[in-house]
Chain A
Amino acid sequence: MKVSFHVNGEARALDLDPRVTLLDALRDHLELTGSKKGCDHGQCGACTVLVDGRRVNSCLSLAVMHEGSEITTIEGLGTPENLNPLQQEFVSCDGYQCGYCTPGQIMSATGMLAEAAEGAPSHVSDSLTGKAELSDAEIAERMSGNLCRCSAYPFIREAISRVAEAEEK
């Protein structure tokens, strides 16, 4: 079945079995292996990408459901020579050990920061209508869809917090 979408700004056309997930299309058909397959059931977040600017689990979506979508993967954020702010802060804060969850963490944090900037509350927000302050507890709650089995969580939260503060200024 034919499907066309944009990945990191580039038009891509594929002819796929309908069973192919968006994650497998990216990794196996487009050779964009930054997005990782952890659990393949939406529990770990390693496969997180942005679809039309929103973070989703690419393992829980069929590629053929994305006709016309704008998809952003970790390869679309920065380059080794020119890291984007989140990538830079993950390096500075040592926000990983093995690194397997890192692309998903960074893509999820990208989506999460945009949600917070729009004023979206979280489960731990005292007020549903107030400004979303990204405290440590707020970041932990909003990032709960991303697991890190090396448990680098404090440094991951620190990296995200630094970017949130920089964006605030």
Chain B
Amino acid sequence: MRPFDYLRANALDDAASKAGDGAQFIAGGTNLLDLMKLQVMTPETVIDINNIDGLDKIEPHEGGLKIGALVRNADLAADPQVRRAYPVLSRALLAGASGQIRNKATTGGNLLQRTRCPYFYDPAMACNKRDPGAGCAAKGGVSRMLAILGTSAACSAAHPSDMAVAMRALDAQVEIRGTDGATRTVAMDELYQLPGETPEIETSLKPGEIITAVILPAPQPNATQSYRKIRDRASYAFALVSVAAVVEMEGETIKQASLAFGGIGPRPWADAQVNAMLEGETPSEELFGKAADTLLAEAVTDEGNDFKREMTRRALVAVMREATGMAPASTGTDKVEALA
């Protein structure tokens, strides 16, 4: 690790005023410290925000829940209200990382974790995200863990989070405290920027801004939620492909469907067109196949990750079969219950 100054912030104002050029906030630290050891990230100042009061609570909010940025992943997954009313979020969290990591990693930090693209992680390799303008050694390289949608000539990195995929399917909002002290909320697609020609810019957060909470809308009673993750080993591995689904049926018709995908995009990937073509329809394998065609219409793959097309299609179909009642629910598919 390169030397750095370590500071503790005791309030949001304090954190914002300490944050200057070359500063990083640290909460769980499970990703940041890993990257600092590899000298992929070399902050001059590390500001510990763990002592800021009030950010570690899960509270009722406008019929839904407000999750503080410092709530640990393990606590969020095990929260009784989340387990009942937002099971897809518990499932996604439990599919991510290890027990030890989940005990430290936070809600805000999980959203802002960096890609696990092997070329980003290796300072000997050219990477436009790590070193803007350096080029991308991933092109023509090992592409198994890379994205296939929303990529650019400059970057094909995938967002690694499971939690964020479930939050995207739940239409969560992210609360951000600006450097002027005012709070704003943004949708997840507004938080995450696509790489384009500037893959080093990953979010719409400005220097010194801090995520303070994630807001979940009121749960839909009678909905079914599902999370399925496909990876190279049974546990503690990043997704090749994952699918989160929130589906509400009305009789034999899909009343509402919200799907989000992990492992295939530079952000938790959702496509409004896909959801729209499912809604109002009768579930069938043919319908789900057409939805997959639409989702993947713009996919760019190479021989190392072309399998993700078929894998995404099969995952989408399998999850939708369970969520619509065409197939019996397996582990990972749960009925939503009302908030207590």
Contacts and interface: CB of A to CB of B under 8 A. Distances in A.
A62 B100 contact: no
B6 A18 contact: yes
B256 interface: no
B100 A56 contact: yes
Contact of A60 (B1, B33, B234, B236): B33
A65 B48 CA distance: 7
Contact of B103 (A111, A121, A126): A111
Interface in B25-61: 26, 29-30, 33-34, 37, 46, 48, 50
Interface residues of B, number: 37
Contacts of B33: 21, 60-62
A102 interface: no
B100 A48 contact: yes
A121 B332 CA distance: 12
A112 B48 CA distance: 27
Nearest to A48: B100
B84 A129 contact: yes
Contacts of B331: 124-126
A144 B98 CA distance: 6
A91 B95 CA distance: 31
Contacts of B87: 128
B244 interface: no
Contacts of A120: 74, 77-78
Interface in A34-81: 40-43, 45, 48, 54-57, 60-62, 64-65
A169 interface: no
B322 interface: no
Given A18-B6, A60-B101, A128-B90, 14 more contacts: A1-B6, A18-B4, A19-B4, A42-B100, A43-B236, A65-B26, A108-B100, A121-B78, A121-B83, A123-B91, A123-B94, A124-B331, A128-B87, A129-B80
28 contacts: A1-B6, A17-B3, A18-B46, A42-B34, A42-B100, A43-B236, A48-B100, A55-B99, A55-B100, A57-B101, A61-B104, A62-B26, A64-B48, A65-B29, A65-B48, A111-B99, A112-B99, A118-B78, A120-B74, A121-B83, A123-B235, A128-B83, A129-B83, A142-B99, A143-B99, A145-B97, A145-B99, A145-B236
Interface of A: 1, 17-19, 21, 40-43, 45, 48, 54-57, 60-62, 64-65, 108, 111-112, 115, 118-126, 128-129, 140-146
